[in-house]
Chain A
Amino acid sequence: MDVATLRRAVTVGLVGGLAVWHLSLVGMVQAFQTRPIITNYVSFGELLPVLVIPIVGFWASGSRGATSPRSSAGTVMSGAVAGLALGAMIALLCFFIEALHPNGMLINATPPLVQDLRIGFDTLPGTLIQLLGGAAIGAAAASLRIVPPTASRIFVVAAGTMLGFGVMKNLVFQLLSNMGFNSGATFLYQGDGLSLPGALVLFVGTAAVVWLWATRSAGVVSSYRALPRQNRQIAKIAAFGVAAVVIVLLPTVLGPFLSDVATTVGIFILLGLGLNIVVGFAGLLDLGYVAFYALGMYSIAVLTSPVSPAFHPQLNFWLALPIVMLIGAGVGLIVGAPVLRLRGDYLAIVTLGFGEIARIIFLSEWMTPYVGGANGIQGIPAPSILGIIFRDQPGSAPGGVYYPLLAAIVIAALVARSLYNSRVGRAWAAMREDETVAEATGINTTVYKLLAFSLGAVFGGVAGAFYAAKIGVVFPQNLDILISINALALIILGGMGSIAGVLVGALVLVGLPGILREFAQYQLLIFGAVLVAMMLFRPEGLIPNRSRRAELHEADEEPAEGTGGEEAPGTVANVSRLVTESASVRTRPGGSP
C-alpha cells in the first residue's frame, strides 16, 4: 500500500466523517431513533452513521486515481483505513460533545446523541467499537470489490431490501393486512419494525431470489426475446393491465392515511408534469411555479365556495375547472409576455419573485376583502359525480379526490407526451439546445416560450384546483416557495424532460416524506442535497430523457466528435435537423401553431 493510496483512503474517511458529523448535529440520528428497522435490535437512527461506513469503504477502495492495479489485500486495506478514519471522526465527535457540552449552541449535541453513537456502550468499549467496527465494516465493503460480482450483488440487494422493508413498515404492513395477508404481516413485523425472524426470512428470501435471477435470468430473458412479436406485445399489455388494476385498487388497499399521501403525490405529479413542460421541454427555469398553483387554488375557491368573501357564483367543481384552466392560460400569457425575453438565469430569479409576490399579495390586507387574507377561503365543496363525493368523509369514494385526480394525471401525461412528440415539442427542444440557432432557422421562440409557459400555468392551476378540492380550504400559508422547490426537485431527480421521471421523482420526494413523518422535518435539507448531488453526479436524472442527457453530457462527448458516428448534440447541425423536422411539418396546410 503506497502513500498516495493511504492518503486517499484517509481523506475519503474524513469526508465521510464530516457527513456523519452533519447527520448527527442536524439531529437526524436522533430523529430517526424512533423508527426501528428490527425491533429491539436496530433503529434507523443507529444505522444512519453506520450506513456511511460501507459507502466510504467502497469508495476509498476504488481504483480511481491508483497508479497500478490494486492487489486484493490492498483493496481491503484501503477500505479498512477509510473505515478507521471515519470511526475516529465519530469518536472525536463524542469526545467533543462530552468535553464541551455545546448543546446551548448546537441543540442536538446532547449526551443521548453520544449514547447513540456509541451504541449504548461506555466510553472505552464504545470508542473501541467505533474504531474497530468502522475498520471492519469498511474492509467488508471494500471486499465487495474482490468477491464475485454476483455474491456482492446478492448481499447488497438483500440488505437493502431488509432495510427498505424495515423503514417502510407503515406502508408494507398496511398493504399486507389490507390484502388479507394478516399472518404474513404479523410474522414479518413486530411493533414498529421488522421482527428478528421476519428480517432473517426477508434477507434469505431476497438473497435466494437474486441468486436465482443471477443464474437463470439469461434463460428467461432469451426465451422472452424468442417469443413472436405479437406475444411480446400481449405480455407487455398484460403487464400494463396489471399495473393499471393495482393503481385503480390502490385507495381500497392503502386505507385512509396512505391514500391521503397518495393523493398528495398525485397533486405533485400533476405539478411536476406542468413544470416539466416549462423546464424540461422548453428549458425555461421557472422558480415561481407556485404562483400558478396558488392561482388555481384561489380561482376554484372563489368560483365554488359559498363563503368566498367578495364574489361567490358557487359553480360546480367540474364547471369551474375549465374556467380555472382558462384563467391559468391567460395569466400565464400575461405574466410570460414581458419576462420571456430574459435570459435563462434572469428568468429564474424573476419568476422566483413572482412566486413570492403571489404569496404576499394573497396574504396582504389589501386583498383580504377578496380572498380572505390570512384566514383564506373555506367551505370549498367536494367534487362529485352522480352523487359520488370525492373527499375524505364518510360515504364518499375511497381515497377522496384520488380517482378524478388519477384521470387528470392520465390526461395530463398523454397531453405532455403527444406535445413532446409533436412539432411543438421539437421546436422546444431546438430552442432549449440553442436559442439563437433555433431563432435563426425560423422558429418563433417567443411564441413557443409563451406556449410552454402558459401550458405550464394551466397544469399548475389544475393541480392547485385539485388541492383545494381535496382539503376544502385554501390558505396563503400553503403557498410557500417550498412548493416550487418541491416540484423542481422532483423533476430534476426524475430527469428533466422525462415523464416517467416525474412519477418516480414525486413518489420518492413527496411519497417518502409523507410515509416517514420524521423525514418531513428534514425534507428541505434532503431536497437541497438531492439538487446538488444530482447536478454534480447525474444531471440527466434517474430516468433520463435521451436528448436532454445528450445535451448535459456534451462536454464529455466532445473528444469523440472527430471519430464520426452520431453527430454531437447541441451543434448547429443538430438544432437545424430538429428545426427542419418541425419545418417540414409546417409546410403542410393548416400547420400553423
Chain B
Amino acid sequence: MAMVRRLLGLHERLSVVDVVLALLRIGVVVLVVTGVWATLNKGTFTLKAWESLAVSGVALGAVYALIALGYTLVYGILFMINFAHGEVFMSGAFTAYYVAQWLFLSGFLAQNPVVAFLIVLLVAMLVSATIAVVLERVAYRPLRNAPRLVPLITAIGASLFLQNTFRGLYGAGVKAYPSWPMFTGSLHFGDVEIRVTQIVVFVAAILLMLGLYWFIERTRTGRAMRAVSENKDVAAMMGINVDRVIMTTFAIGGLLAGAAGILYTLLFNQVLFSMGFVPGIKAFTAAVLGGIGNPVGAMVGGLVLGVLESIGPYLLLDGFNIPTPNQLTTVVAFLVLVLVLIFRPTGILGTKDAT
C-alpha cells in the first residue's frame, strides 16, 4: 500500500488535489499504454515510416534545442521567462530570408553556396542577437527588481510588439524561401532515407551547441555567467560586471535563436511574421522538459520533444481511430509541457532548486 502511495505521489494526509493528481497520473499512463498498444497492433505504419518520423523529429528537435538554450540561459540568470524569445528567433528567420534572397538575386549564392550560407547564418545571428540585447536593455533591465509577473507581462508585450512590427515592416504574407542548390536530395543509411537539409540542420545545431558548451565551460565570460547564475550579488562583489554578463547572456541566446531561425526555414522553406510563437512555446517546453536553467538539459529536452511531437500523435492517437493525428501535434507538445510541469517541474536533468 505504501509503495502504491509513493508511486502515485500521495502524502500521508490526502487532499482533494492530491487525489485529482493521482487520478490524472493513472489516467495518463493508461491512455498512453492503451494508445501505443492499439496503434502497434493496428499496424497502420511500417517501421520505415516510424524511422522517417523519428529522423524529422530529431532535426526539428535540434532547432528547438537551439531556441531552448536562449530560454534556459536567461532563466538560469534572471529567473524570468523571456517570452519574446520566439520573436528573436523569427527575426533571425526573416533576416536570413532577405539576405538569402539578395544573395540569390545577385547570383552570389549560385557561385559560392557555402560562403553564401555562412554569410546568411552570420547576419541572421547578429541581427537576432542585437534585437535580444536591445530588448533586454529597454524592456527588462528597468524591471529587474520588480515582482516576478511584471517582467513576464512586459515580455508578452514585447513579443506582440516585435511580431507586429515585423508584420508592418515586411507584410503579413507567407514568404517562400529560395532553395539552396547544395542542400537538395537525400541520403540513404540502410533503408532509412534522410534529407540533406535534415543532416545540415542537425550538424549545424550540434556544432553550435558544442561551441556554446565550450564557451560556458572554458572561457572567462562563461565562468562569469556561471557565477552570476549561481548568485548575482556575490558575483558582483567578486568584481563581475553583472549587467554586462546579463547582456552577454541575451546576446548568446539571440545568436543561437538567429541560427535556429535559418535552420528552421531550411526545414520548412517559408517565413511568416507569426512563425515565432509556436516554436517559441515548444522550445520553452523543451527547456522545462530538460530542466530549466540547465543548458545540457535544454539540448536533451529539445531532442526529446522533437521526437515526441513527431512520433507521439501517431503513436498515441492512431490506435484510438482519431482522424488526422498530425493536426494535434501542438496539442501533444503542450500536454507534454503541462504534464512535466505538474509532475516533474525540475525536468529530466533539473536540480531541486529550479522550483
Contact = CB atoms under 8 A, between A and B. Distances in A.
Contact of A341 (B17, B143, B335): B17
B341 interface: yes
Given A360-B331, A527-B157, A531-B156, A26 B168 contact: yes
Contact of B24 (A338, A363, A535): A338
Nearest to A351: B338
B335 A350 contact: no
B152 A353 contact: no
A529 B161 contact: yes
B142 interface: yes
Contacts of A337: 16-17, 20-21
Contacts of A40: none
A342 B343 CA distance: 10
Interface stretch (A105-113, A147-155, A226-234, A405-413): A105-113
Interface in B303-333: 317, 322-324, 327-328, 330-331
A366 B322 CA distance: 6
Given A366-B327, A528-B159, A555-B146, A356 B168 contact: no
B96 to A, nearest CB: 13
B160 A531 contact: yes
A105 B95 CA distance: 11
Given A105-B98, A485-B160, A529-B157, A364 B149 contact: no
A360 B328 contact: yes
Given A360-B330, A531-B160, A349 B168 contact: no
A235 interface: no
A532 interface: yes
B328 A350 contact: no
A27 B168 CA distance: 6
A489 B143 CA distance: 18
B14 interface: no
A107 B335 CA distance: 39
A27 B284 CA distance: 32
Interface in A92-133: 105-108
A224 interface: no
A146 B151 CA distance: 37
Contacts of B17: 337-338, 340-341, 446
A287 B156 contact: yes
Contacts of A533: 157
Contact of A108 (B20, B152, B159, B169): B169
A489 B156 CA distance: 10
Contacts of A535: 143, 146, 150-151, 153-154, 157
A552 B170 contact: no
A348 interface: yes
Interface string A459-500: 000000000000000000000010001001100100000000
Contacts of B167: 26, 525
B49 to A, nearest CB: 20
Given A349-B337, A360-B331, A524-B163, A531 B153 contact: yes
B164 A524 contact: yes
A103 to B, nearest CB: 10
Interface in A501-541: 522, 524-525, 527-533, 535-536, 539
A343 interface: yes
B145 A536 contact: no
Interface string B128-159: 00000000000100110111111111101111
A529 B15 CA distance: 43
Given A522-B164, A525-B160, A531-B157, A365 B337 contact: no
A349 B284 contact: yes
Interface residues of A, number: 60
Contact of A528 (B21, B150, B160, B345): B160
B165 A361 contact: no
B80 interface: yes
Contact of A365 (B156, B157, B323): B323
A22 interface: yes
B334 interface: yes
B170 A105 contact: yes
Nearest to A340: B17
B337 A344 contact: no
Nearest to A523: B164
Interface in A327-351: 334, 337-346, 348-350
A525 B161 contact: yes
Interface residues of B, number: 58
A572 interface: no
A263 to B, nearest CB: 25
Contact of B327 (A357, A364, A525, A555): A364
B338 A107 contact: no
B176 interface: no
Nearest to A450: B17
Contacts of A270: none
Interface in A1-38: 22, 25-28
Interface in B222-266: none
A22 B323 CA distance: 45
Contacts of A536: 139, 142-143, 154
A525 B334 CA distance: 26
B145 A555 contact: yes
B80 to A, nearest CB: 7
Nearest to A529: B161
B81 interface: yes
A524 B327 contact: no
A21 B280 CA distance: 28
- Best-buried of A535, A539, A551 by chain B (most CB within 10 Å): A535
A285 B152 CA distance: 9
Contacts of B322: 366
B61 to A, nearest CB: 18
B150 A539 contact: yes
A492 B153 contact: yes
A353 B143 contact: no
Nearest to A537: B142
B153 A360 contact: no
Given A107-B170, A285-B152, A352-B281, A346 B157 contact: no
B330 A356 contact: yes
Contacts of A353: 281, 334-335, 337-338
A361 B153 contact: no
A528 B165 CA distance: 10
Given A105-B170, A338-B24, A357-B331, A528 B338 contact: no
A376 interface: no
A283 interface: yes
Given A357-B331, A531-B160, A346 B20 contact: no
B165 A26 contact: yes
A349 B281 contact: yes
6 contacts: A341-B342, A345-B152, A364-B328, A525-B168, A532-B154, A532-B161
Interface of A: 22, 25-28, 105-108, 283, 285, 287, 334, 337-346, 348-350, 352-354, 356-357, 360-361, 363-366, 446, 481, 485, 488-489, 492, 522, 524-525, 527-533, 535-536, 539, 551-552, 554-555
Given A339-B341, A353-B335, A357-B330, 13 more contacts: A22-B165, A107-B171, A345-B152, A350-B338, A356-B278, A356-B331, A366-B328, A525-B161, A527-B157, A528-B158, A529-B161, A536-B143, A539-B146
Q: Which 3 A-B pairs have the closest CB atoms?
A: A531-B157, A26-B168, A528-B160
